[in-house]
Amino acid sequence: MKSPLTPPPAAGQASILVWDLPVRLFHGLLALSFAGAWLTAESERWRLLHVTLGYTLAGLLVFRVLWGLIGTRHARFTDFVRGPGAVRRYLAGLLRGQPEHAVGHNPAGALAILALLALGAASAVSGWAVYNQLGGEWLEEAHEIAASLMLAVVGVHVLGVVVASWLHRENLAASMISGRKRGAPEQGIRSAWRSVAALMLVAVLGFWWLQWQSAPDAAASANAGDGPVVQGHPARQSHTVSRNGRNSHGGSDSDGD
């Protein structure tokens, strides 16, 4: 079996399918979920959307780990996760302007993927615990730190994609959309696995629909005088706290949740 690190594809090589549709859909939905959750983090009005996108992100991470074990060739962790030596060699080549070419993820990209999986899991789990009042202010801070670190890794990853695209003379972002890169025919995958992607999309859209259905119930409960409500979950008042230390009724939050 050939190493995934190979010389840059020659002009005569064919366009091959590298990324299956589930991997591409995962990338798009993960970016959408993280961006949406980040933008709605400080808004009580959009709390349900924030929580929904956080749960979506968690589900996507679980799928990616499973697909990294049983998925197509270049989706598997065994194809792109390498040791420290491979990472050092790739980064050294990158600094020289002559990085090794990878048909799938390169070693530096693999580090970013692992970091995003770990930080995404930390952010999702801590967010779930905070939302369900299972921790104090320290856990809320941990949730914010994990999300901020994830944003930093995303920025580094995007910069790395831009630099690698320029040095390799191939549009890596476009290949994640089309699924195709130039390479030897035997390096491609046989199927895009559209059926798995379709099930994945149906699951995400179905979950979003169920979450949306809970929003009117929250408003009805609040109007009926059932007490404080946070986007569909009565009595979760303690986490409607803004950064200035005041709750939604203007009182101070002295006990840190």
What is the band of 3 on the pLDDT scale with cuts at 50, 70, 90? Answer: very low
At 211, list the tokens.
Answer: 């979450």
Q: To which residue do tokens 């005569």 refer?
A: 12
Contacts of 44 (CB under 8 A, 6+ apart): 230, 231, 240, 248
Specify the pTM: 0.78
Cα(first)–Cα(last) distance of the chain, in Å?
A: 55
What is the band of 250 on the pLDDT scale with cuts at 50, 70, 90? Answer: very low
Over residues 129-163, the pLDDT tens digits come to 999 888 788 999 999 999 999 999 999 999 989 98
